[in-house]
Amino acid sequence: MASFAPTDMYRPARLNWAQGALLLGLAALIIPTLVTVADQFWSRENGVHGPIVLATGIWLFLRQRKTLMELRAPGNPWLVLASCLLLMPAYILGRAFDYLSVETAALLGILLAVFYLYFGGRAVRHVWFPILYMGFLIPPPGWLIDVMTGGLKTFVSITSTQILGLTGYPVARIGVTLYVAQFQLLVEDACSGMNSIVSLTSVSLFYIYLLHATSWRYAVFLTCWILPIAIAANILRVLILVLITYHLGNEAAQGFLHNTAGMVMFVVALLGIFAVDRIAAPLFRRRGWM
């Protein structure tokens, strides 16, 4: 029986000293930032999507590794050097002064520059969605969340008050504060699920990309439904919390049932996206739009 000796093509590639130094340098940046993000962002309601985005984002890159190797062509080292010279001070500034959004964005920019260096522009364009998807790892600044959701909170509080009033509950509203019987609820706190719009958007876009990436018209159509469904789910959450407060007391609403209402909101929103997809997909196929 003939025997075959192992050849070089089956041996794992060895890193040279420059590649090893680069990996050590990246690890020195990634590990402390990852620990900080996990502690300050992922542990909060508006950041629960972080671990999911990280794991699924890495998977999106790995599932296209064969194509990436075929497209691989070294990028412009001078462009990478210029990018890193701009991004490293931003990373240091964010790290030193606890600007987590700046720190994380700069780190992702550095990783993108390194990816471009080894794989080139064609590969970067090919994985445009995983790159944008990884942007959900950046913690949005609090002031940006307030600006984006301020009007939505007012709309949710008005709509919730009208619905409860039509059903006969003694409810009144001043700004984003709801008064039901002897209880007072601040929608800014009770409706903190508004922050989970980012989480819902990230998970929904991942779902749309996997199932409908080949039909950009339908993908855009489903994406347009994310915000309306999120608003409807948050109205449902406020209604649940008001009813819990009215019937079981404030302690029940602010305790375990408060977190449960948040989970219900997120699940309902996701089911809403799935339902729209289930209903609309056959219509789009029938008309030849996907």
pLDDT of residue 43: 81
Over the stretch 227-244, which tens digit does the pLDDT of each residue have? 888 888 888 888 888 888
Asked if residue 79 has pLDDT above 90, the reply is: yes
Spatial distance between the Cα atoms of 64 and 116, rounded to a whole number of angstroms: 15
SS3 of 183, please? strand
- Complete DSSP assignment for 45-63: GGGTTHHHHHHHHHHHHHT
3-state SS string for 96-134: HCCCHHHHHHHHHHHHHHHHHHHHHHHHHHHCHHHHHHH
Spatial distance between the Cα atoms of 14 and 25, rounded to a whole number of angstroms: 18
Q: Which helix (H) or strand (E) covers residue 259, if one does?
A: helix 256-286
Least Cα distance to 137 among 208, 275, 36 occurs for 36
Least Cα distance to 253 among 189, 202, 203 occurs for 189
| Mean pLDDT value across residues 213-227 | 88
Longest dimension (CA), the chain: 89
Q: Write down the mean pLDDT value for the chain.
A: 84
Strand order in the sheet with 177-180: 171-174, 177-180, 183-186
More confident residue, 97 or 264: 97
Q: How confident is the model at residue 3 (pLDDT cuts 50, 70, 90)?
A: very low
In this structure, is the dihedral angle defined by the CA atoms of residues 264, 266, 267 and 270, taken in order, positive or negative? positive
Spatial distance between the Cα atoms of 11 and 276, rounded to a whole number of angstroms: 49
Asked if residue 53 has pLDDT above 60, the reply is: yes
pLDDT of residue 1: 42
| Mean pLDDT value across residues 267-276 | 89
Spatial distance between the Cα atoms of 130 and 124, rounded to a whole number of angstroms: 10
More confident residue, 45 or 162: 162
- Mention every residue, 6+ apart, whose C-beta is less than 8 A from residue 136: 49, 50, 53, 198, 201, 202
Spatial distance between the Cα atoms of 22 and 15, rounded to a whole number of angstroms: 10
Provide the token pair at 249. 């007391």
Q: How confident is the model at residue 4 (pLDDT cuts 50, 70, 90)?
A: very low
What number of other Cβ atoms are within 10 A of residue 243's Cβ? 16
Over the stretch 97-137, which tens digit does the pLDDT of each residue have? 999 999 999 999 999 999 999 999 999 999 999 999 999 99
Rounding to the nearest 10 degrees, give the CA dihedral for residues 285, 287, 288, 290.
Answer: -50
Spatial distance between the Cα atoms of 252 and 96, rounded to a whole number of angstroms: 41
Alpha helices in 63-215 (DSSP H): 65-71, 77-96, 100-126, 128-134, 142-166, 187-190, 197-212
Instruction: Report whether 119 contacts 70 (CB < 8 A).
Output: no
Q: What is the model's pTM?
A: 0.81
Residue 28 amino acid letter: A
Q: How confident is the model at residue 87 (pLDDT cuts 50, 70, 90)?
A: very high
Asked if residue 263 has pLDDT above 80, the reply is: no
Over the stretch 6-51, which tens digit does the pLDDT of each residue have? 444 444 456 677 778 888 999 999 999 999 999 998 887 677 788 9
Asked if residue 5 has pLDDT above 50, the reply is: no
**Side-chain half-sphere CA neighbours of 237 within 13 A:** 32
pLDDT of residue 49: 84
Residues involved in catalysis = 191, 237
Spatial distance between the Cα atoms of 184 and 139, rounded to a whole number of angstroms: 30
Instruction: Report whether 137 contacts 37 (CB < 8 A).
Output: yes
Asked if residue 91 has pLDDT above 80, the reply is: yes
- Percentage of the chain surpassing pLDDT 70? 87
More confident residue, 2 or 53: 53
pLDDT of residue 10: 41
